[in-house]
Amino acid sequence: MEFSGLHGPQTHSRYLAAIGIWAHRVDSNAASASLAGTELSIFAIETPFEVVDMDDNLNFDLILGFDVLKQFSFKFDHQDKEFEMVVKP
């Protein structure tokens, strides 16, 4: 796949991949949303997604596109600088 970036057009390999995200499961009904004592589990997205191999990029591990992001809802607390990604029911 060829696409343009900061360094001009480059060719990269692309693959279909299953995506899973490790996350702490937090009980939204609990009085405290602390991660202490929460279990670490994986959320696997059922649909495989097309991914592009960016070689050895030191600036990021991966970029999530809207096709992946729309699987979740997000909350960001600007004051406390906390980010939360919630699996849509």
Cβ atoms within 10 Å of 84's Cβ, excluding its own: 13
Local confidence band at 86 (pLDDT 50, 70, 90 cut-offs)? confident
Local confidence band at 73 (pLDDT 50, 70, 90 cut-offs)? confident
Q: Angle at Cα 49 formed by Cα 43 and Cα 51, nearest 5°?
A: 110
pLDDT at 37: 55
Compare 71 and 25 and report the one with higher pLDDT.
Answer: 71
Local confidence band at 76 (pLDDT 50, 70, 90 cut-offs)? confident
pLDDT in tens, 27-38: 666 555 555 556
What is the C-alpha to C-alpha distance for residues 15 and 31, in angstroms, rounded to an integer?
A: 43
pTM above 0.95, yes or no: no
